[in-house]
Each structure stands twice: as structure tokens, then as C-alpha cells.
Amino acid sequence: MAIRPILTVPDPVLKQVSKPVEGPVTDELRRLMDDMLETMYDAPGIGLAAVQIGVPLRIIVMDLAKKGEPPAPRYFVNPEILWASEEKKGWEEGCLSVPEIYDEIERPARIRVRYMDYDGTTIEEEAEGLYAVCLQHEMDHLEGTLFIDYLSRLKRDSAIRKVKKATRDAAL
């Protein structure tokens, strides 16, 4: 496993639409997912899309285990939203590609999703709470959408400026 650099805004790769994985889940893809998970744990974060490490494929990793709980990694290949509730819920979101910026985003409270897991098994399930929020946030990455894209232009531009400045300062 290897920790890979995480791209931050305004890197244009983050705006790319990720391509579906064609065919079965191979060992090569599992190696990519292992790297993604290690990168996410190291950051630390609770979710990561492949495009955030510069690989525009429809793959997500996630771990929503609380502090003190054993790790509970989840893997999503080609995830699709089959249904979303009318009911919406606001949640304070952040993103490893937009470090140190947090804001409340409203999304459907519950969704039904289908995806392939680490073994390539197709799973269909319902998600709510943080799980639903995180899945929708990560699936947005696959469309080149960041959570700050839901904010006003003023807030978004200010967020990008802050990240750019912090990245530059860190490089000095």
C-alpha cells in the first residue's frame, strides 16, 4: 500500500467526470483501493474518491467508524443512486481537496444505492445519516462536483483562495 498525494482546488483534474470501471474488479483495482484507503486514513478523512488522487475512475473508499471503534473500510465501484428521498437534511461538510473549509450543505436525507464492493459483489442498500451524506458527497466527486460548488460564488471563491494560499505557504 502507498500513500498518494491528494489533489486540492483549483486543480482542474477535480472537475473531470470519472469513467466507469469496465469489467470485473481486478487485483489492480484492489491495489488502487488499498492505496486510496491508506491515503484517506493518513489525511485523515472519512471518504475519498479516486479522482482526488488523480485517477478519474468511479471508485470511492470510506470508513465511518468512530474514534475507538475498529476500522470499518467500505469500497464502492461504479456506485449509482437508484432513489433519493424528497426529505432533505443539512450537514456540515468538509473535503480533503478543500482542506480547512466547512459549510452546511443540504442533500436528500435517505438514498438507495447500487455498487460493487471490494470483491466485485453487487450490493443494493439504503443509506441515511452520515452514510448518506458521505456517499452523496463522494459520488459528486465522480461528476467533477465539489461541495463548495453548492455555495455562493463569493464563498466558493474565498474558499479556493484560502486553500491556494495555504498550499503555497506549505510549499515554502
Q: Which is nearer to Ni ion, 32 or 40 (CB)?
A: 40
Q: Minimum CB separation from Ni ion for residue 8, in Å?
A: 10
Least distance (Å) between residue 25 CB and Ni ion: 22
Known catalytic residue at 22: no
> What's the N-to-C CA distance of the chain in angstroms?
28
Cα distance between residue 168 and residue 172, in whole Å = 7
Q: What whole-number distance in Å separates Cα of residue 129 and Cα of residue 115?
A: 19
50 binds Ni ion (CB under 5 A): no
* Rounded-to-10 torsion of CA 54, 77, 60, 115: 150
Residues in 95-134 that interact with Ni ion by CB under 5 A: 95
Listed ranges 11-19, 65-73, 91-99, 111-119: which one lies at the site for Ni ion (CB under 5 A): 91-99
Binding residues for Ni ion, rule CB under 5 A, total: 1
Catalytic residue among 93, 100, 138, 143: 138
Cβ distance to Ni ion smaller for residue 26 or 167? 167
CA-only gyration radius of the chain, Å: 16
CB of residue 147 to Ni ion, shortest distance in Å: 6
CA 110 to the chain's CA centroid? 17
87 vs 129: CA distance, rounded Å: 12
Q: Find, among 105, 55, 51, 113, the residue nearest to 81 by Cα.
A: 113
**Least CB distance to Ni ion at residue 7 (A):** 11
Residues of this chain that interact with Ni ion (CB under 5 A) are: 95
Which residues are catalytic, by number? 138
